[in-house]
Structure 1
Amino acid sequence: MKATSRFMNAVSAVALSAGVAMTGTIAIQLAAIQVAEAATVSRIEVRGNRRVDAETVRNYIGIRPGRSFSNDDVNDAVKRLFSTGLFADVSITQSGGALIVTVDEYAVVNQVLFQGNKKIKDRNLTEAVQLQPRKSFSNQALEADAETIREAYRRIGRDDATVSGRIQELEDGRVNVIFDIQEGGRTKIAAINFVGNSAFGNSRLKDVISTKQSNFLSFLMRNDIYDDNRLRADEETLRRFYYNRGYADFRVISAAADLDEAENAYTLTFTVEEGERYRFGNVEIESTITGVDPQTLQSRLETRQGSVYSAKDVEDTIIALTEEMAGSGYAFAQVTPRGNRNFETREIDVVYSVDEGPRAYIQRIEIRGNQRTRDYVVRREFDLSEGDAFNQVLVQRAKRRLEALGFFQTVNISTVPGSQPDQVVLVVDVVEKSTGEFSIGAGYSTGASDASGGGFSVEGSVTERNFLGRGQFIRVSAGGGKDSRDYSLSFTEPYFLGRRIAAGFDIYRRTRKFDDYERDVTGATIRFGLPITEALSTQFAYNYSQENYAGTGNCSTLGDGNPANDASCTLAPALVQAIESGTWKKSSVSGSLIYNTIDNMQSPREGIYANLTLEVAGLGGDAKFIKATARGSYYQTLSEELDLVGILNVGAGHIQALSGDLRVFDHFSSSDRIIRGFKYNGIGPYQTTAGRIDHLGGKTYFNASAEAQFPFPILPESFGLRGAVFADAATLYASDIAGTSGTGMEWRASVGAGLIWASPFGPLRVDYAVPVVKEDSDTVQNFNFGISTRF
């Protein structure tokens, strides 16, 4: 059929799919073919292609010689060619019996280069940008990648970084993409202000939020970086803080960040409205589910009438009631709290309504934003999986678990409709943060001690809490002083064999050199931990160690078989006997119960931490005993306004030989964890030789301490310094060693003050204690400086 056609130019805007790496608006010059009915051509010519084969273009357009086609077919052909992402421009025209397809190919990226960057490595920038080698180049992608790089610098506190992108043209339509970066100076936080707060002081609220004011240590702490997402997270942290302390009407009116461009520093201002402080009034449970008696659920309540209102207690009650209902066979039970404020009495009555919730199932769990952390590490924190009944309470529990891991800056869980009306999709959005730590600590003690060897000591460690993105914990440490060396390796898999069982091992070696002998201990522990409830867990372990002793100095002849050579050694007979025995092996099993309700393990202010451990030695080896130890710490905020925290610590221990007598090194020794103001192993049973007193430890101890911690005056909170005053009491007594004095239950007591620093190298503490009750045989050590270990 001979068709007469008129050709006219038209402009068509084509909307491309999200998978095409193109942004902005592309003007497409298209010669549309106007025909009365249809048109045909005898051949298809492709022009302008350099790398893309002509036959490939013909296959994409879908128009065949000798077959009729319409304007719609031409439009569809243009869209298909654009959707490949290979072409910057496409036009289709008819000339006589030929269909002319003219294309303008995108250049192909040869290399992506970064110049001027030091603070962010090439590898990290390469992962962030969308332009990659062997992919198509576009100016829109170049601009988008430049903005992505600028955003990466803003996240590390360099808001004035400038990024410009350019290309270097090569042959065969290839280009090198070059990003020129000027990193600029580090943007600081000049001040953090709070407006409208009266119940809590500025210093207390500054301690609550994660963003800190800049100081001379900020380059190590890296917590003075302004980020809009962190600011929003700080708002939520403030809400939780107030809601859990009775302020149910609290709200953040505004959170503003003002940048002083001349100083390159932000001033953050939180404007808040605290409202009144409430207590719980009447607390009731009602149920609309047949067969469910509300009275049987009363024991699951975490909220008590008369106690200070706490949103966390309400959440815990909802979780407890939901779990109780699910365990009774009501998988879709829904617990909804209703609060009724009494403004006169400042009480909130709470009614928990238990109803049959909508039947919905989880179609799938979709995880986004985890570039390093494996999907299964996130999934295993859910007590839900695909196909299970949807339960909002268990979703919130999973959110709290994910936040507690410490792998993510933020965790958000939302739902979207599934493919069926009764199905939902859980969407988990996470923002990862650094989980590696390098710490250096230092300590000092006067005189030789088994704890440090005397004098200055240092310790360095490398820790990774999310090893290879698998959620595993690994720590390598080394340290020592003039007369001591310590090495250790620890590894923990928190989900052993896919179950919530923590399995791990510890390998260590410790050497000590004293005035008259040397001691080295090499050992290993294999352990398993199992949670019982959210607060209670248990741990079982097998322990093996080998101890070696050798005399030095005046006692260097110990063990040579000639007692006459030992006359110059003035060590206690019990120590001489232990050293001459040479190698001592211990093989034991131990079990622990751990109860932990501490609100913040790094900076505790409320809660209880208790540990009860029983160890039995005698599964081979030389040691044969049973040992029980217990310790507990109770934290309570005494004044929110002053940020005054009270701490009570108690502890006890007893060891009993299973056969024969205990050797000297199996007894308990006193330390600064038992009582401060005395030298390590400076109290308790002892032997005297030639006027020299050697403390040998005891079979039983009890200790207690009371402490108050407070912000260090004058210095800003961001320095991480806190002061402390304390009083300690302890007794260490009883011994299986013949000829030992001081075996009675005499109590010692001391008082003192300390300084605690949450340093970039780990928590450090210095204490000065003065004994107020002591025995003549005790050895005093007033000053102690070292790494702070609370738990």
Structure 2
Amino acid sequence: MKTIPLSLIVASVLVHASTQNVQSIQYEGMVHISETVAKRLNEVKIGEPLDPVAVDKTVKNFFDQGYFQDVWADENEGKVTFHFKEKPVISKIELKGYKENDEEAKKTLLQIEKGSLFDEKRLENAKKRIVDALSQDGKIDSVVEVNSEKLDNGSMQVTFVVNEGEEIIIKKLTYAGVLTQDPDDFDSMIANKEHQFMGWMWGRNDGKMKVAELQYDPLRIRDFYMQRGFLDAKIDEPFVRVDFDHYEAQMSYNIFEGDVYRVSDILVFQDTKVIEDQALLDVIALEKNKPFNIKTFREDADRIKTKIADLGYAYVQVQPDLKKDKDGKSVDVVYRINPGKKVHIRNVIVSGNSRTLDRVVRRELFLAPGDLYSLSNLKDSRNALGRTGYFESNTIEEKRIDDETMDLIVQAKEAPTGNIQLGGGYGSFGGILLSVAISDRNIFGSGINVGLQLEKSQRTRNYSFNISNPRLNDSDFSGNFSAFNSSTKYTSYTTSSKGLSVGTGHRFNRYVSGYVGYNYSQNTYTDIDLNTTVRDPRYFESYAKSSVVVSATYDNTDDYYVPREGITASQSIEMAGVGGDADFWKSRTTFGAYQGLQKWTDFDLILRYKARFNYAHESGLLPLGEKFYMGGIGSVRGYQSYSLSPTDGTFDTSGKPFKTGGTETFSNSIEFSAPLVPEAKMRATMFVDYGMIGESSLNEIKRGGYGVALEWFSPVGPLQLVFANPIGSKPGDDVAHFEFTIGQRF
């Protein structure tokens, strides 16, 4: 704050104090404060003698508002004027050298926006936040410079220039007092780990110190012991010795293990009995005479809470307690339960669905106005909304009205479900390609899925249309219709296919649904060169297929595109021969398991396992186009789509073996998906695939693949870019190192 010279005012007061009163008050250069507010802050009163103390206090009041660089006052024959020099406005603010492209991080760190007043104190606070963030990342000796420049228009440009300090590497980590456990097992619990050789590799410890986690690591080690029954375990704060010349550290822990406690008894006490005690004991996983486990103890408390909350007691309180017998090294596990009162849903309020109709949201909820509260129904409602694929995220807030009623507020953030693709390109096989594709999984917010594709090249033509409604008239029934017309010109023949399918399904419960459909297609072969292809002309007999499909699906995942929990399983049977020429039956089985690993890894890592088994049986005619082929996304990445297949020993005009397809195939994959650029909704996935295919045995052809995939919720829909390499490839295999898909589940 600038010192205010009051000599002129004091002199004037000394000369005129007995005769001169304040005649008027004026404000010059004041913009951010209105005159009405200024009058409230002003201690100088019109009609009273001018008081230097009142002037000084008024100037201080104005300066404390934070809008001004300088404030001063003068007086002339009873006219008092307050002058203001306002702080300039920040028109440009930059962060260089740290989190430059992370807009969310910049907002959190700087907390200064364009249009803010230039304030040295706020700049210093932002500088301190940056240094603190670097320290939390394990960087020491970091330097942040704040450069400010006045622009021609009078505004200010502020640039924070960050010089990141050095990271401390933990070269040695020791544990004293560890008698019964393997210290290497602590690595799965703690954040600060000893550096390992080639620590930069995935799965190895890089040894970088995480300063913010040092206070929590002893608690994690203690939790490790308590999961194994060591209830008296004590872990001291780590002792850290840092070599600042080389930015290396040595850490040590002093640990007292104690003895293992076994569960002697498990007791439940209900303040008001609302359920049989045995029903609660049945959900408890801890066992008598077994070592105590703190993790299971917590999970049991949650299971008891869910059991009672599902009866309508939304505000139930479960207070777990332990009664240790140090002499007998045993522990009584006690759960004290206060169920409260039964709670009913007063209202369900839907918000955030600017496009999706309210009824489309509400039909996925398992709680409605007037219903008795259920914690399981609440969780299942969140997951059901996620499985639709209509929403990027959703939450259901429980708003307490009183002891017996609550409102549910559904807050949904909509995801892009439709896209229009206009494309063109050139391929070595198809030549020039032009394509138009329009699709929307939630057209007009109705929940109806519509797709139209028009594609034409020098060798291929594909026209298709599909429409499906997963909830006909908001019921548990679904319906679909699709039609297609396609043709492909190969070296020695041309194949054409046109047909349609129609079907209906029914959702039996919140996880299980069934489907019955009918397919019909006409398939023809033309331009056949029998002299240079295969000897058996029956491969190219035109045929009609008329088939019935029956399927069942189980899905309890929490999201359509990126599930973090749950499993999916499906089984379908197609029976051809209900009219038409083709006569066969096919079975398709799929399985997927998804598990988020965030509570173990401290970041959004997802483990996925997917498996597929297909089998076909020829009853009369099983055409080549109805057999199975392997390769590409959905089976074994690293090979061209549909390129892995049994052959008949003959060759086409290009010299490649003629593929006849298989009657049974199995493929599976394991994937680890992690956030790459969270603010851009981009993830990176590492995968390993392995598959088998054959005509009479799965052992005929075996192939694998590995690689990485980029998963991105792009403006045109979910996009997956796959970079793969084959495992166990053979001469003549058609390998593919890059593929992509749009709109598919990751």
Give me the TM-score of the superposition, normalised by structure 2: 0.54
Is this contact kept in 2: 1:90–1:104, CA < 8 A?
A: yes
Q: CA offset at residue 568 of structure 1?
A: 2.9
Which residue number in structure 2 is paired with residue 696 of structure 1?
661
Which residue number in structure 2 is paired with residue 577 of structure 1?
541
Q: CA offset at residue 392 of structure 1?
A: 12
Q: Aligned with 2:122: secondary structure?
A: helix
Q: CA RMSD in A?
A: 7.8
Q: Find the aligned partners of 1:353 and 1:216 in 2 and give their Cα distance.
A: 47
Q: CA offset at residue 86 of structure 1?
A: 2.6
Which residue number in structure 2 is paired with residue 553 of structure 1?
491
Which residue number in structure 2 is paired with residue 61 of structure 1?
41
Is this contact kept in 1: 2:636–2:703, CA < 8 A?
A: no
CA 1:357–1:695 in 2, change beyond 3 Å: closer, same or farther?
Answer: same
CA 1:391–1:66 in 2, change beyond 3 Å: closer, same or farther?
Answer: farther
Q: CA offset at residue 293 of structure 1?
A: 1.7
Q: Aligned with 2:541: secondary structure?
A: helix
CA 1:104–1:611 in 2, change beyond 3 Å: closer, same or farther?
Answer: same
Q: CA offset at residue 295 of structure 1?
A: 1.7
Q: Aligned with 2:148: secondary structure?
A: strand
The partner residue of 2:25 within 25, 45, 54 is 45
Q: Find the aligned partners of 1:82 and 1:525 in 2 and give their Cα distance.
A: 68
Which residue number in structure 1 is paired with residue 589 of structure 2?
630
CA 1:225–1:331 in 2, change beyond 3 Å: closer, same or farther?
Answer: same
Question: Letter of the aligned partner of 2:87 in structure 1?
Answer: A
Which residue number in structure 2 is paired with residue 139 of structure 1?
120
The partner residue of 1:201 within 184, 198, 213 is 184
The partner residue of 1:334 within 295, 317, 320 is 317
CA 1:585–1:572 in 2, change beyond 3 Å: closer, same or farther?
Answer: same
Which residue number in structure 1 is paired with residue 156 of structure 2?
177
Q: Find the aligned partners of 1:208 and 1:486 in 2 and give their Cα distance.
A: 52
CA 1:784–1:396 in 2, change beyond 3 Å: closer, same or farther?
Answer: same
Which residue number in structure 2 is paired with residue 666 of structure 1?
626
Give the gaps of 5 or more residues in structure 1: 1-24, 34-38, 363-379, 402-414, 425-465, 531-537, 641-645, 710-719, 733-745, 771-778
Q: Find the aligned partners of 2:557 and 2:33 in 1 and give their Cα distance.
A: 68
Q: Find the aligned partners of 1:384 and 1:26 in 2 and give their Cα distance.
A: 63
CA 1:68–1:350 in 2, change beyond 3 Å: closer, same or farther?
Answer: farther
Confirm or deny that 1:287 pairs with 2:266.
no
Q: CA offset at residue 192 of structure 1?
A: 7.1
Confirm or deny that 1:323 pairs with 2:261.
no
Q: How do 1:101-500 residues align onto structure 2 when only pairs under 5 Å count?
A: 102=82, 104-109=84-89, 111-114=91-94, 120=100, 127=107, 129=110, 135-148=116-129, 160-168=142-150, 175-184=154-163, 187-188=166-167, 190-191=169-170, 194-196=173-175, 198-199=181-182, 201=184, 205=188, 228-229=211-212, 253-254=236-237, 271=253, 273=255, 275=257, 282-304=265-287, 311-340=294-323, 349-356=332-339
Question: Letter of the aligned partner of 1:664 in structure 2?
Answer: L
What are the superposed Cα offsets for residues 458-509 of structure 1, whole Å, 9 maximum, x if unpaired? xxxxxxxx9xx7567999999999669999999889xx89xxxx99889999
The partner residue of 1:612 within 570, 580, 602 is 570
Q: Find the aligned partners of 2:372 and 2:58 in 1 and give their Cα distance.
A: 47
Q: Aligned with 1:352: secondary structure?
A: strand
What are the superposed Cα offsets for residues 715-766 of structure 1, whole Å, 9 maximum, x if unpaired? xxxxx99999x9x88876xxxxxxxxxxxxx544599998967798979676
Which residue number in structure 2 is paired with residue 462 of structure 1?
none
CA 1:397–1:627 in 2, change beyond 3 Å: closer, same or farther?
Answer: closer
Q: Aligned with 1:105: secondary structure?
A: strand
Is this contact kept in 2: 1:586–1:623, CA < 8 A?
A: no
Question: Letter of the aligned partner of 1:697 in structure 2?
Answer: G
Confirm or deny that 1:592 pairs with 2:553.
yes
Q: Aligned with 1:335: secondary structure?
A: strand
Q: CA offset at residue 325 of structure 1?
A: 1.9
Q: Find the aligned partners of 1:382 and 1:238 in 2 and give their Cα distance.
A: 41
Tell me the percent identity: 14
Q: CA offset at residue 339 of structure 1?
A: 3.5
Q: Find the aligned partners of 1:285 and 1:420 in 2 and give their Cα distance.
A: 27
Question: Letter of the aligned partner of 1:611 in structure 2?
Answer: A
Q: CA offset at residue 298 of structure 1?
A: 3.8
Question: Letter of the aligned partner of 1:667 in structure 2?
Answer: K
Q: CA offset at residue 570 of structure 1?
A: 1.3
What are the superposed Cα offsets for residues 629-688 of structure 1, whole Å, 9 maximum, x if unpaired? 33457999xxx9xxxxx999976445689x996543333445698899999776779798
Q: Aligned with 1:323: secondary structure?
A: helix
Q: How do 1:731-742 residues align onto structure 2 when only pairs under 5 Å count?
A: none
CA 1:317–1:166 in 2, change beyond 3 Å: closer, same or farther?
Answer: same
Q: How do 1:671-686 residues align onto structure 2 when only pairs under 5 Å count?
A: none
What are the superposed Cα offsets for residues 440-462 of structure 1, whole Å, 9 maximum, x if unpaired? xxxxxxxxxxxxxxxxxxxxxxx
Q: CA offset at residue 163 of structure 1?
A: 1.5
Q: CA offset at residue 323 of structure 1?
A: 2.9
What are the superposed Cα offsets for residues 411-437 of structure 1, whole Å, 9 maximum, x if unpaired? xxxx9xx9999999xxxxxxxxxxxxx
Q: Find the aligned partners of 1:549 and 1:254 in 2 and give their Cα distance.
A: 71
Question: Letter of the aligned partner of 1:320 in structure 2?
Answer: R
Q: CA offset at residue 176 of structure 1?
A: 3.9
Is this contact kept in 1: 2:487–2:494, CA < 8 A?
A: no
Q: CA offset at residue 294 of structure 1?
A: 0.7
Q: Find the aligned partners of 1:557 and 1:195 in 2 and give their Cα distance.
A: 70
Give the gaps of 5 or more residues in structure 2: 14-18, 346-361, 385-397, 407-411, 497-522, 601-606, 673-684, 711-720
Is this contact kept in 2: 1:544–1:587, CA < 8 A?
A: no
Which residue number in structure 1 is paired with residue 718 of structure 2?
none
Q: Find the aligned partners of 2:494 and 2:704 in 1 and give their Cα distance.
A: 40
Question: Letter of the aligned partner of 1:168 in structure 2?
Answer: K
Q: Aligned with 1:328: secondary structure?
A: coil
CA 1:114–1:288 in 2, change beyond 3 Å: closer, same or farther?
Answer: closer
Q: How do 1:638-653 residues align onto structure 2 when only pairs under 5 Å count?
A: 652-653=613-614
Is this contact kept in 2: 1:46–1:54, CA < 8 A?
A: no
CA 1:296–1:108 in 2, change beyond 3 Å: closer, same or farther?
Answer: same
Q: CA offset at residue 351 of structure 1?
A: 3.3
Is this contact kept in 2: 1:609–1:634, CA < 8 A?
A: yes
Q: CA offset at residue 593 of structure 1?
A: 0.7
CA 1:75–1:267 in 2, change beyond 3 Å: closer, same or farther?
Answer: same
CA 1:121–1:89 in 2, change beyond 3 Å: closer, same or farther?
Answer: same
Q: Find the aligned partners of 1:482 and 1:229 in 2 and give their Cα distance.
A: 55
Q: Find the aligned partners of 1:214 and 1:344 in 2 and give their Cα distance.
A: 45
Q: Find the aligned partners of 1:242 and 1:505 in 2 and give their Cα distance.
A: 55
CA 1:781–1:615 in 2, change beyond 3 Å: closer, same or farther?
Answer: same
CA 1:528–1:289 in 2, change beyond 3 Å: closer, same or farther?
Answer: farther
Q: Find the aligned partners of 2:451 and 2:192 in 1 and give their Cα distance.
A: 35
Q: Aligned with 1:81: secondary structure?
A: helix
Q: Aligned with 1:330: secondary structure?
A: coil
Q: CA offset at residue 61 of structure 1?
A: 3.2
CA 1:338–1:142 in 2, change beyond 3 Å: closer, same or farther?
Answer: closer
Question: Which structure's relative contact order is higher, taking Cα pairs within 8 Å and 6+ residues apart?
Answer: 1
Give me the TM-score of the superposition, normalised by structure 1: 0.52
